[in-house]
Structures are given as structure tokens and as C-alpha cells.
A and B are shown apart, each in its own frame.
Chain A
């Protein structure tokens, strides 16, 4: 079942066509990697999907509903979770409280003034933390966590809204190889169990070829290849433009 459908997406900055006529789709439970050399338009594409930028042309549909040009917070409420390349969490709050805030926001309860936020949805928050393996550290302030653990917290926060689509910007950047694998295995399990579609950008080809179900390749703002990791790996144009002959 198609969760995300992108058609002819374009965005220019002045004379630069950062993204030009990009189309792809993504099914529930599928992990799609978006790769390309620096400046290929990955970040722009991501920011168009998550609402940081508004497209010049083209359509973005989530479950058949247009989300192009909506604000990031509205896109989240429609069921799009995000993790950042450099983690962004609420440092003054505990791990559990980070998830609780996301749960409160999902239920549109943030404007209530008297209940104690720390008592809201503890069980659900803990269930999500258990799912990402962070339950033991639920009480610790996020400011004190290790980087890999912060990534897990971000996942739990992103899942709090029961998203249909998860956008992960370079999820494994700055992590050790063993940690990378663990995080991507967790992501894959979540995608399958919760039937969430996952779109991620990635520089590490090992991660891409090991964990992605499908790969799309951007170069110069355009989509130049799409297919299974094996097919993309074998694509001569990709090897030429992207891998530059360096075989890995």
C-alpha cells in the first residue's frame, strides 16, 4: 500500500535547480534509502517532505492527501515522524519526559495548565522506550545521554504519534559500525511491526546496501536511478556519477 507519493517535485534557489522533477513512492513497511553525492538535492528533498521548505512545483501525498507546503508541525500531526542528522531532543527533560511531551502533543493536550505532565501516559511512554531499548535510562536527562542512545530516544519520540511515515536524515552519521547496524536493525523491525514507511538518507553504502529494501539515487537535483540495492549497485550511470568508479 502506497504511503508516500511524490510527483514531479521541484525547488529552485535563484538559478539553482536544487530538486528537479523528482518522483517516487514508498509503501507501508518499506525502507527506502535516498542516496547521492553532496549537493545532489537530498537535503532539499527532505526539507520539502518535512515542511521546512515549500515546493515550487509538484505534489507530495501522504495516504492520498496533499501535504506539500504545510508547516512541519502540521505535517507531524498528519503522521510524519522525523529524526535529525544531529540529534535534537529536550535536554532539560528526562528520556521519558521527552516521549511524554510527544504523546501530549499527539493528543493535542499541550494547552492544559493544571494536570501534571509527568503523570501523563507513563505506561505508553515506557512501552515505546522498551521498544527502542531505552527503558533502563528512562529517568536520565537527555543532556547526559550518549549519542547512540539519543538516536534511540529520537526514534521513540518519532513513534509517539503512531506515524505512517518516518523521515530519517542520516540516521547513522557519527556512530560506530556496530551501533549503526543495531540502530538500522531496530528501524527495520519497527517498520515491519508497525507497518511504517521509512525514508532515510545515508552516506554509508554498507548501511544502504544491507538495510534498504529499495534505493533511489539523486544527482544534480534529478532522480537518476531507482531499484533494489543490487540493481542500483549494478547501474552503470550510478557508478559513473555517484560512485565515481570507487567500488565498495
Chain B
């Protein structure tokens, strides 16, 4: 690589860093003040792109960009005041869920408004050409982007450090209750900060249109990139976001420039891992003091009554007898319900007793599915061998990622798990030779004796019931108690000799194994797998199941899985814009039952 091409790659990296910075800065700013991790931030970026593409033919590119950014900012402010404002007192997880519902709604809005095809944007008038740098041609527009990043950093710095409004924002970031007690108008401040963050995301998106087409898939890609940047830079630190954006932007650029574009993810992963091991709170983040008694008070876990056990046994018996009465599509749907119930229970195992809020549990579901599928496809393994081996691949993946994850907690953990899931997805999506890329793997059928719907239903029922029963039982074991002890009070757990991290790591791996089992069963039930199997929406499905059912109860995730699977099936078949419908339903449920459905029922009727 010559000196000149090194320079060009370096400049390329700076240009992408600017765009990464815009989105990460907004995310960080919003989190700092409202303590909400805005999942929909990538969607706001996407909205900025589409709006700019749509406006540019009419008003010209240079006017379209600020207009799109302002429109997205206004949308953010409205969404905050109508929706999120009602949820600031709700548990953190439900806030995240609400912002994810926004992701679904915005995606379908974009689909409805602009259609499924990618739309190419205009070149920037005046900067459409290239300049010659060290004998190589470099887009003039990218030079503009390079200058923009530091300009925005400077503006934000001025706004936060030198204005009265910025002082209020910083005060609220440090201690919002105190700021409120001193008479700061929280409502207005929160709405304004959310609007500003959204504006930055919209600006980032709008500025991106001369470089890449507007596309529907960009939202989740951007949000996971932004999470990586924020985790590396330190949550709440704007200069940290800038530094991390530079680092990640350069790494991506050099990996692509050197012809190792497939190594990009690996390099990104290595950097993130190194930063997290050396500085778990990010490059410029502040060490967060352990919050005492933070979050909602966890409910006790009582041994089930005889009646409850009988009820579960009766449910199992009914499920076992069902094929005799009814066959056909119901069994296919119930097979899905069962394996998603196992998936949801495995997620609940780490989220409830473990207190580890994973936003990327589908990675292990997908690893199980791909592990089983690849064994059948590449090694012509039998179904039995594949079903047994798939979960082990998932456990291996969970052990590798979990080692990093258990070093973090709270929203950091959520972001990191999501980033790992996105990395796993990208590998499945990009590694054509092994995973079949976007087409996935087809022809994963069960052994002949299990190929009937009824036979496969029985296999799924047996495996899932056993898995769920084991996961539940472990909650009552010394291991489960120690896990809850680490969640309730890490300080006390450490003081009575409990190695909290090691336990959490083991629990993460254990849960990964069962998510993998669900994934392997899924692969054989569908006959094919694609990267969808481990995409972020699947992870969020798991979260929705757990939270809809109520995280406080052991059985909640099962009801949540049944409800969501049925809902998706019923809605996806009948409605074009089913994502928006599901998003709307989630929003309605979150607003109506901030404690989850089972939690609501219990509170309502247990007195």
C-alpha cells in the first residue's frame, strides 16, 4: 500500500467517522438527560435519508438537508412529548421496548411512503466532483463531511459548555432529580434534548444521500454501529463519541482499503473487546458508581403451589393430546409457539434471575439453527447429531460473547449484546461460501420418521418442555439463588464469597445453549434458515415475549411467546403493514400495562 493510498483510506475513514459521530452524539445526548437508550435512533437516521431524497428534487440538495434534519428533529420532539414522556417512570426495559416499537412503525411508514426499492440520492451541487490528493482522486463531498464532524463537535461543545441551556442539560445529565428540585423545567428540557438528538440523527442521514442510496435496512445497521461507537467512546461523553467514531471509521476504512472487507467486523470486534477489557466504561466515559437499590424492587421467587404444578401438568397433557383432536396448521403454529416459548424462557433466565438484559439473544438462537443446518448441509450429519450439536455451537458463541458482556451491566450490557448479535448476523449474511449469505441454507429436513407434522410436533413438545422445566428448576437451585443474589446486591454477594461474574457467565452460556436448542428445532421445522433467524428483530421478539408476559413471573415468558407468535401469525397473513400493527400493539400494551401482562394480572387479582 503506497503512501498516497494510505492517505486516501485515512480520509475515507474520517468521512465515515463524521456520519457515525452525528448519530452517536445524538444517542449519547438523549441518554445523558432522559436515561432512555433510543433504539429508534437508526430509524431517525433513515427518515433523514428518505426525507432528503424526497425533498432534493424540489428544493435542491443544500436546502433539502437542513429541512430534512429539522423535520426529523420536530418528529423526535413530538414522539417524546406524546409517547416517551409517559414512560420515564416505567422500567428501563419497557422504555427500550417502546422505542423499538417506534422502529417498526417508522420502517413501515417508510415502506408505505417510499416503497421497498433503494432510492439513489442526488450528488451535492458544487461538490459533485473530485479533487486530486497526492495523485489520487478523492470526492470533494467527502472533504466537506470531514470538516463537518469537528464543526458539529465544536457547536455541541459551545452549546453545552457556554450557554445557559447547555448548563441545564449538563445539570440534568448529572442529577436530574436535583436539577428538577432546583426548578429546572424537566418536560421542556427533555423534549428539546430529544429533538436535538433526533435532529442530529436526521442530519446524519440526510448528509449521507450523495454517498449511498436510501434503503429500509439502514436503520438497524446504523443503530448497532452507533451502539458500538457509544460503548467504545463512553456513554454520555460527546468527545468520547467523536474519538470512538474516528477509531471505528478508520478501522472500517482500512479493512476495506486493504481488501479485507470481510475482516471489518472482526477488527471492529477486537477493538471493542480491547477497549472493554481495559476501560469497561469506554474511552472517555466516567466510572459509574454502583447504584444501590437501583431499579424496581425484585419480587420474591416462591416455590410453585401444588395447584400451579397440577395446572402446568394439565397444560402439558392437553398439548400432548391435541394432535388426536386436531391436525394441520394448528400444529405448525403450536410448534412455533413451543420453540419460541423455550427461546423466551432461556432469555428470561438471564434477564430475570440473572439481571442481565440481553438485546441480542437471537444470536444464540441463530447459532443453534446454523450449527444444525451446516452439519446437515456440509457434513451430511443425521438430524439427531445436528440437533444435539447445534446448541453446543450456540453455547460456545454465548461463552465467547458472554465473557465480555458480564463485565458490563444495565444499558451498556444491552448495547453490547445487541452489537454482538449484529456481528453474528453480518457474518451469516456476508460469508456466502459457508452460510449461503442472504439465501441461507435450504433443505434441512427432519429424519423421515419425524417428518410428519404430528411427529415433529411431539419432538418439539418433548424437547421444549424438558428444556423449560430444567431452566425453571435451576432458578430454584443453589445456582439460581446465587444468580439472584448477585442481581439483588453485588456488594453483599461478593462479601459472602460469591463469584458473581463467573456465575453470570455460566448462566449466559447455559441460556445460550437452550436458545440454540430452540433454534435447531426451528431450522428442522422450517426446512431452511436465513440470516433473518438471528436478526435483531428476532432478538426483540424475545424481549417482547418476556416483557409482555411479565418479567417478574417464571411462566410469563411462555404466555408472552404464545401471544406474540399467534399475533404475528394472524397479523402477518392478513395485513400488509404488519410491522406497524405489531409496533402499535406493543406501544398500546406498554402504555397500558407498564408492568407486563402477567404482572398486571397478578397485581390486579392477587389481593
Q: Using A90-B489, A93-B488, A120-B478 as known contacts, say yes or no to A76 and B300 having CB atoms under 8 A apart.
A: no
Task: Check if B488 sits within 8 Å of A110, measured CB to CB.
Answer: no
Residues of A near B310 (CB, < 8 A) are none
Assess the B495–A100 pair: CB atoms within 8 A.
Answer: no
Contact between chains at B488 and A91 (CB < 8 Å): yes
- For B299-324 the 0/1 string (1 means CB < 8 A from A) is 11101000000000000000000000
Contacts of A160 in B (CB 8 A): 496
Least CB distance, B304 to chain A, in whole angstroms: 11
Q: Which residues of chain A are near B478, meaning CB under 8 Å?
A: 101, 104, 109-112, 115, 117, 120
A20 CB within 8 Å of chain B: no
Complex Cα distance A121/B299, Å?
A: 23
B301, B473, B477 — most chain A CB neighbours (10 Å)? B477
Q: Which of B26-34, B39-47, B479-487 contacts A (4 or more CB under 8 A)?
A: B479-487
Indicate whether B503 reaches chain A with its CB closer than 8 angstroms: yes
- Does B491 sit within 8 A of A, measured CB to CB? yes
Chain B residues closer than 8 Å to A116, beta-carbon distance: 303, 476-477
With the chains together, A143 CA to B300 CA distance in Å? 9
Interface residues of B in 488-527 (CB under 8 A from A): 488-489, 491-499, 503, 506
Nearest A residue to B481 by beta-carbon distance?
A: A117
Report yes or no: A105 in contact with B484, Cβ–Cβ below 8 A. no
| Chain A residues within 8 Å of B485, by CB | 90, 93, 101
Tell me the A84-141 residues at the B interface (CB within 8 Å): 84, 86, 88-94, 97, 100-102, 104-106, 109-118, 120, 141
On whether the beta carbons of B473 and A114 are closer than 8 Å, the reply is yes
Whether B298 lies near A105 (C-beta < 8 A) is no
Contacts of B491 in A (CB 8 A): 84, 88
Shortest distance between the CB of A239 and any CB in chain B (Å): 35
Q: How far is the CA of A110 from the CA of B485 in the complex (A)?
A: 11
Q: How far is the CB of A92 from chain B (nearest CB, A)?
A: 4
Which chain A residues numbered 35 to 65 have a C-beta less than 8 Å away from chain B? Answer: 50
- Which A residues lie within 8 Å of B300 (CB)? 92-94, 141
Residue of B nearest to A142 (CB): B488
Please indicate the chain B residues that have their CB under 8 angstroms from the CB of A141 in the complex.
300
A169 CA / B480 CA spacing, docked (Å): 29
Q: Give A104 Cβ to nearest chain B Cβ, in Å.
A: 5
Instruction: Report chain A residues within 8 Å CB of B482.
Output: 101, 104-105, 110
What is the bound-complex CA distance between A110 and B498, given in angstroms? 8
Chain A residue at smallest Cβ distance from B490: A88
A105–B497 contact, CB under 8 A? yes
B502–chain A nearest beta-carbon distance, Å: 9
Chain A hits for B473, CB < 8 A: 113-114
Q: Does A157 sit within 8 A of B, measured CB to CB?
A: yes
CB nearest to A86 among chain B residues:
B292
Which residues of B have CB within 8 Å of A101? 478, 481-482, 485, 496, 498
In the bound assembly, the distance between CA atoms of A116 and B480 in angstroms comes to: 9
Interface size range on B against A: 20 to 34
Proximity bits, B551-567, A CB within 8 Å = 1, else 0:
00000000000000000
Chain A residues closer than 8 Å to B496, beta-carbon distance: 73, 76, 101-102, 105-106, 157, 160-161
Answer whether residue A69 sits at the interface, using C-beta atoms and an 8 A cutoff. Answer: no
In whole Å, how far is A93's beta carbon from the nearest beta carbon of chain B?
7
Nearest-Cβ distance from residue A190 to partner chain B, whole angstroms: 17
Given known pairs A93-B488, A116-B303, the reply for A76 and B480 (CB within 8 Å) is no
A120 partner residues in chain B, CB cutoff 8 A: 478
In the complex, chain B residues 8-45 whose Cβ is within 8 Å of any chain A Cβ: none
Contact A110-B503, Cβ < 8 Å, known A91-B488, A92-B301, A104-B481: yes
Residue of A nearest to B492 (CB): A88
Q: Give, as a whole number of angstroms, the nearest-CB distance from B373 to chain A.
A: 29
Closest residue of A by beta carbon distance from B476: A116
The answer to whether B499 and A97 have CB atoms under 8 Å apart is no
The answer to whether B130 has its CB under 8 Å from any CB of chain A is: no
For the complex, give the distance between the alpha carbons of A151 and B506 in Å.
32
Contacts known (A77-B497, A84-B492, A161-B496); A100 close to B297, Cβ less than 8 A: no
Tell me, yes or no, whether B274 is within 8 Å of chain A by CB.
Answer: no
Residues of the B chain whose Cβ atoms lie less than 8 Å from the Cβ of A111: 478-479, 506
Q: Are B477 and A115 in contact (CB under 8 A)?
A: yes
Beta-carbon contact of A118 and B474 below 8 Å = no
Kindly list chain B residues whose C-beta atoms are within 8 Å of the C-beta of A118: 303, 476
Q: Which of B476, B492, B499, B503 contacts A90 (CB 8 A)?
A: B492
Find the A residue at minimum CB distance from B502: A111
Residues facing A in B441-487 (CB within 8 A) are: 473-474, 476-482, 484-485, 487
Closest B residue to A90 by CB, please name it.
Answer: B488
Minimal beta-carbon separation of A54 from chain B (angstroms): 15
Choice from B303, B479, B495 contacting A88 with Cβ under 8 Å: B495
Please indicate the chain B residues that have their CB under 8 angstroms from the CB of A82 in the complex. Answer: 495
Chain A residue at smallest Cβ distance from B298? A92
- Interface-central residue, B300, B476, B491, B503, by most chain A CB under 10 Å: B300
Residue of A nearest to B293 (CB): A91
Residue of A nearest to B500 (CB): A73
On chain B, the residues within 8 Å of A102 by CB distance are 496
A15–B162 Cα distance when bound, in Å, is: 33
Q: Is A21 an interface residue (CB 8 A)?
A: no
Query: CA separation between A206 and B129, bound complex, in Å?
Result: 83
For the complex, is A72 an interface residue (Cβ under 8 Å from B)? Answer: yes
Q: How far is the CA of A71 from the CA of B493 in the complex (A)?
A: 13
Minimal beta-carbon separation of A129 from chain B (angstroms): 16
**Are A113's CB and B303's CB within 8 A?**
no
What is the distance, in angstroms, from B303's C-beta to the closest C-beta of chain A? 6
| A–B pairs, 12, beta carbons within 8 Å | A50-B495, A73-B496, A73-B498, A86-B292, A92-B301, A94-B300, A101-B485, A110-B503, A114-B473, A114-B474, A116-B476, A117-B477
| Interfacial residues, chain A to chain B (CB-CB below 8 A) | 50, 71-74, 76-77, 82, 84, 86, 88-94, 97, 100-102, 104-106, 109-118, 120, 141, 143, 157, 160-161
> Other than the known A88-B489, A116-B476, A117-B478, what 9 A-B pairs have Cβ atoms closer than 8 Å?
A50-B495, A88-B492, A91-B297, A92-B300, A93-B484, A97-B481, A101-B485, A101-B496, A115-B477
Those 6 A-B pairs whose CB atoms lie nearest each other, nearest first: A88-B492, A92-B298, A90-B488, A76-B497, A117-B481, A110-B482
B interface list, Cβ under 8 A from A = 292-293, 297-301, 303, 473-474, 476-482, 484-485, 487-489, 491-499, 503, 506
